[in-house]
Amino acid sequence: MSTYSLEHVKFLKKIKLRKCLIYITQLSIIVFLFLIWELLAKLNIINTFLFSSPSSIISTLKVLISANNLVSHILVTLYEILISCLLSFGIGFLIATILWANDFLAKVFDPYLTILNSLPKVALGPLIIIWVGASTNSIIVMSLMISLFITIINLYTFFSNTNQSYITLLKSMKATKKDIYTKVILQANLKNIINTIKVNVSMNLIGVIMGELLVSKAGLGYLIMYGSQVFNINLVITSVVILAVISSILYYIINFFEKKYEEK
């Protein structure tokens, strides 16, 4: 026997229906855009040499799969994204915690973080290659430079803007800095931390691809660079579409854990 009232059951069904409609609409928009793209290509309204087409992308995917190249390139890029995400979030979280705990250091380093975050990282690409070497390390360092500072800034801002009433209450109870951090700062900012991870993943993906464009022998960024060098636009756009799919999958994975947290 259901413990919910009839009205509540109807309300839950309405919410589920709305979610389904959102997902269907999102998928329909993508399908519609691809159909329009294919139609424009078939009618020769757009130049397929410059803009490719969905059918050309499918053909390119078949070639990559038959050559046993696609999976290896995707795995290389995913590995670099994973390492970059773990490092940038871990280091960013640690530094943001230190800055929150020490107001003096926060005020000292505040302008430096802003300046470093605004630097054009791509311009430093050749220097990174010289310093680290033309290897995967250069790609990870490039990704770190793009994502690390924004991660620190976001997390520190969230920590600093935590409701002061809770902190004041714990201080009145003689709570230590550690107690305030674990019982208030972290607990109050779990959702913000998850949102920071979302931003962190997207920034790391951008950083990895930029790094692969500069120095790589494998990966989706390498395919984009190689395709542009030999004027194979189909390969370039196919790689971009695969990146969009990977980005979407990563987004929904994080979104899944976020919903699990909200349900608790």
How confident is the model over 87-133, as pLDDT tens digits?
A: 999 999 999 999 998 989 999 998 899 888 888 877 788 888 888 88
Q: Are residues 18 and 101 in the same domain?
A: no
How confident is the model over 205-236, as pLDDT tens digits?
A: 988 998 888 888 888 999 999 998 888 899 99
For 163, half-sphere exposure in the C-beta direction (CA atoms, 13 angstrom radius) is 9
pLDDT at residue 1 in the model: 44
pLDDT at residue 125 in the model: 80
The mean of the pLDDT values for the chain is 87
CA distances from residue 256 to 43, 88, 198, 205 in whole angstroms, order as listed: 41, 22, 12, 19
In angstroms, the CA 264 to CA 258 distance is 10
Domain around 132? 49-263
Under the banding of pLDDT at 50, 70 and 90, the label for residue 264 is low
- Total count of domains within the chain: 2
Q: Are residues 156 and 26 in the same domain?
A: no
Angle at 84 between CA 132 and CA 63, to 5 degrees: 95
In angstroms, the CA 213 to CA 232 distance is 16
The amino acid at 13: K
Q: Are residues 221 and 143 in the same domain?
A: yes
Average pLDDT value for residue range 191-206:
89
pLDDT at residue 85 in the model: 92
Under the banding of pLDDT at 50, 70 and 90, the label for residue 179 is confident
Q: What is the CATH number of the domain that holds 185?
A: 1.10.3720.10
